[in-house]
Amino acid sequence: MPTQEEINVQSFESVVKTAALRGNMPLAWYGTIKLARIPAKSREWYFVVECQKCKRTSPAFRDWSDGKLGNCFRGTGEVLLKCHFCTREIRARAGQLATAQWP
């Protein structure tokens, strides 16, 4: 059975898939959502956040638009997730998300 954090990741990915099909539109988001650590695959696109401690980039959830949408999120929403490298908890606002192709 998936954890709530895994369900949250799936929900964000579903929203991005829908936005990618309909074109770039702002997606309003408020509140704080905790996300599970995801296994990133080489050459796939993700919404990413920078860790304040180690300054490395961690994937938050899959970008099914392959970078075409850019950051389509608006509002005061935040994500919480663990850094893939130093495991510190990252807190990032909607405007801090970026899209990147995983190396």
Task: Give me the residue spans of the domains in the chain.
Answer: 4-101
Q: Which residues contact 59 (CB under 8 A, 6 or more apart)?
A: 38, 40, 46, 47, 48, 84, 102
| Span 56-98, pLDDT tens digits | 999 999 998 899 888 888 899 999 999 999 999 999 999 999 9
| Span 8-63, pLDDT tens digits | 999 989 888 888 777 767 788 899 999 999 999 999 999 999 999 999 999 999 99
Reported pTM: 0.89
